[in-house]
Structure 1
Amino acid sequence: MEKTVVLYPGFIVSHFVPMMRLAGVLIEHGYAVSVALIDPAVNLDDAFAAAVARAAASMPSVTFHRIPLVDGPLTPGAHFILNYLDIVARHNDRFHDFLLRSFPRGGVSAVVVDSISVEAFRVTRRLGIPGYVMFTSNAAVLSAFVQLPSVHAEARTSLKFKELPDAPLDFFGIPPMPASHLFGDLFDRPESDICKATVASLIGISEADGILANTFESLDAPAVAALGDPRCLPGRVMPPVYCVGPFVGGVDVGGQTSKQQQQQHECLSWLHGQPDHSVVFLCFGSAGHNHPEEQVKEIAVGLENSGHRFLWVVREPDANAVLPNGFLERTSGRGLVVKNWVPQADVLRHTATAVFVTHCGWNSVLEGVTAGVPMLCWPLYAEQKLNKMRMVGEMGIAVEMVASQQGLVEAAEVERKVRLAMESEEGRELRTRVVAHKEGAAVAWDDGGSSRAAFVRFLSDVESRWPQPARSGEGK
């Protein structure tokens, strides 16, 4: 019987891309891979549909299945987490039917879901299929997430709620941090539906049969050690954690970049004409974050005054409408502004790229690390502030763009940090440290490397549970 793993990656680009890297490695190890997707129309962001289309076109060995929408797409203006969890829950019956219809009894070795789709474990448990989480962030964030429900419960009994967002929270194995660096909603409105749903989702991660983390041990050693310590989750059993990264966009585990992407995108052609290590690359994530117009103008002035070359992704339909008058003309030749998707991993690996201004999403951090490019941190949401703390402190591969009390990163700060990264001894030290981590990332998937060994352990665990006779569809 053919061994098949079903991937259920949800509908966030930053979760989908690492899952497709996982698909490629599973195929290399002799598994058939089926990707079950709630109709991409569920997410009104065109970036997700485009990412799915690129993956389907470039991975003919992977079978993609569309699960028809139930009750329409994400509700505009609704809270994202509640929206997401609700959509996954109301597609459980159709996911259940897909698994029963598409595979014979015992035909699925495992199901891997993204970290916000743990509601789907109700289906896998019903059918007797092992269920794993693909955790697309790092070991420190995973450690914080699995501890957060109990830390939150303890904090509720010891502190006033209004003090919690700025109060340091203690986690085993990672430095204390303000609650606002993770999920502010847990502490701003502790009795809300948002809080209850988030806590339930975080608990669900630790109830998986195993967790695949998109990191590698040498980058995340203290947090990896913490996850293996019983004190991390007292009174409960932590499932096995397999650090199998780095899975990054545009690059297979073997390190081959997408030549098709390189040939197609204008920004790569532009980079070919720039000197080595001369360009500052600014990109704030696949979610298409738009800065306020005032902030865009401050960035533009800072870049112009720095005198350095730049490639800047400005996700606005009309960049001329938000950029300072004459900016594009004055910086013509040394700067390029693009408004659409760029092959970020390929941009970072280009010899012309010197510094990466990033929102600190973990996929972007890994792409910077594997390219050996130092970073300037501009965290925006989710766990990005925790990532920033570690990048600046423990890893020493970045410095922070500091906002004013009004929340604006001013032009002078942009200019100062660009010059620091490009011109100073501190900038050279950042590059030295990130290149060391780049080498660690390369070794992780070599024969005998930590990520390759972790992946083999994961496959051994899957095979020890297979074949499992699927139960009938009772309990739907």
Structure 2
Amino acid sequence: MSPKKLAVIYPPPGMIGHLVSTVELGKLLVPHGIDVTIVLGGQDDGGAAATASFLADAAATNPELSFHRLPQPTLPCNVPADDYVSRSVIQEENTMSFRDLSGDLVHAPGIPPIPADHLPMSQLDRDSVSSRHFLALSEQVCNSHGVMVNSCHSLERRAADAIVAGLCTFPGRRTPPLHCIGPLIKPREEDSTERHECLAWLDAQPKASVLFLCFGSLGVFSVEQIKQVAVGLETSGHRFLWVVRPPPGLEHVTGPDLDALIFPEGFLRRTKGRGLVVISCSPQREVLEHGAVGGFVSHCGWNSVLEAVTAGVPMLAWPLYAEQRMNKVFLVEEMRLAVGVEGYDKGIVTAEEIQEKARWLMDSDGGRELRERTLAAMREVKEAPSDKGESKMTLLELVSQ
């Protein structure tokens, strides 16, 4: 009897979304006779309470997965991180940062031109440790056995083909095999003993009539921005389900006291019946798959994008941080599964913009065409992990190696 294979998965620390796809990957590998260990960094991830809760649930419901947390460092490291990161020739020959290029377009194979200031935030400053680490990793990837991607070929066809064709590696360097095995998204909470109140509210709404607004685990707005969103939703006349996280400094204020501080006077009373505000969180995948939801205002986090496409819900793209501005470009210009919200890069999205885009998405011929494209993408994305689907076949080929 041949020994079992072992897979060790180390998710990038910092956000719960990384853990979600990591656990789903582990669950895919186990049925193929692979022992899976998920290694967690010694430092607390962002949103420590939510991360701890997720990990506890994941460990309880997936006993076949092994979780190992690295110990906290006992002594501070005083050696500069730069000493461990080699500078590439490209880094040495250039003096400008992407941030200096502002809106100038950056061209790369397989993707639409991207404004320089829409590249991942960690890469905007050439001299930052994160940027140097990324360049070093980009070179090291060429020596890997392969790259697994949480997407499917049909969703990002041009980008995947460009990588496979060797157009995205340094000249003379090997292109590792590409394995598109997605979508890896959080499963529905069908076994939950308590159904969230927002789902019962959605049950009473007409089909595809509700605009859902949710901005991820770290999506926090100022009081001014929250009030602009509120006015825009109210004047749009449309039904809405809005997940709001308390602004900085108000995290411990709750109930009517919080409402009075962050919403326009009388907003909740005037929109009662056609709007529901949920503080902090909601079961996002279940909401997106509810028949009453007709549109999604999203921060363009990749997990949220995959959940929306899998549910066939068209998006209004409002990126906030990390690589989300780049995702917005892909969604709007390449996949054509979203329309951008104007003003996110200027510090404030106005009530007028929210009203206009909400009406466009829910009422216009353009919004209906966007919905049709999203439904077509949904069918392809759902097919990918099924038996004989492209992602399933890729996974089977990978685990057989």
* TM-score of the two chains, using structure 1 as the length reference: 0.74
In 2 relative to 1, CA 187–430 (structure 1 residues): closer, same or farther, beyond 3 Å?
closer
Q: Does 1:395 align with 2:335?
A: yes
Q: Does 1:218 align with 2:218?
A: no
Q: Number of residues paired by the alignment?
A: 381
Secondary structure of the corresponding residue to residue 320 of structure 2: coil
2:324 aligns with 384
In 2 relative to 1, CA 394–30 (structure 1 residues): closer, same or farther, beyond 3 Å?
same
Q: How big is the shift at 1:261?
A: 3.8
CA RMSD of aligned residues (A): 2.7
2:281 aligns with 341
1:275 aligns with 206
Secondary structure of the corresponding residue to residue 380 of structure 1: coil
Q: Which has the higher helix share?
A: 1
Q: Does 1:56 align with 2:45?
A: no
In 2 relative to 1, CA 72–361 (structure 1 residues): closer, same or farther, beyond 3 Å?
farther
**Identity value in percent:** 42
Quick check: 240-249 or 395-404, which moved more? 395-404
Quick check: 196-205 or 9-18, which moved more? 196-205
Query: Quick check: 1:297–1:323 contact (8 Å CA) kept in 2?
Result: yes
1:473 aligns with none
1:27 aligns with 30
Q: Deviations over 1:28-68 (max 9, x none)?
A: 22322222223574545322222212212322222222332
Structure 2: distance between partners of 1:455 and 1:42: 29
Query: Quick check: 1:302–1:412 contact (8 Å CA) kept in 2?
Result: yes
Query: Quick check: 2:150–2:181 contact (8 Å CA) kept in 1?
Result: yes
Structure 1: distance between partners of 2:264 and 2:326: 33
Structure 1's unaligned 5+ residue stretches are 74-82, 90-118, 120-148, 251-256, 462-476
Q: Deviations over 1:299-320 (max 9, x none)?
A: 0110111111111111114441
Q: How does 1:153-164 map to 2 (within 5 A)?
A: 156=94, 163-164=100-101
Structure 2: distance between partners of 1:383 and 1:9: 16
Q: How does 1:299-314 map to 2 (within 5 A)?
A: 299-314=229-244
Q: Does 1:232 align with 2:168?
A: yes
Query: Quick check: 1:262–1:346 contact (8 Å CA) kept in 2?
Result: no
Quick check: 238-247 or 400-409, which moved more? 400-409
1:111 aligns with none
Structure 2's unaligned 5+ residue stretches are none
Q: How does 1:356-435 map to 2 (within 5 A)?
A: 356-403=296-343, 406-435=346-375
Q: How big is the shift at 1:275?
A: 1.8
* TM-score of the two chains, using structure 2 as the length reference: 0.87
Q: How big is the shift at 1:421?
A: 0.7
2:21 aligns with 18
Aligned pair partner of 2:223 in 293, 297, 300 = 293
Q: How big is the shift at 1:282?
A: 0.6
In 2 relative to 1, CA 153–62 (structure 1 residues): closer, same or farther, beyond 3 Å?
same
Structure 1: distance between partners of 2:90 and 2:242: 40
Q: Does 1:3 align with 2:5?
A: yes
Secondary structure of the corresponding residue to residue 288 of structure 2: helix
Structure 2: distance between partners of 1:214 and 1:437: 16
2:70 aligns with 67
Secondary structure of the corresponding residue to residue 336 of structure 1: strand
Q: Deviations over 1:5-26 (max 9, x none)?
A: 2222243211110111111111
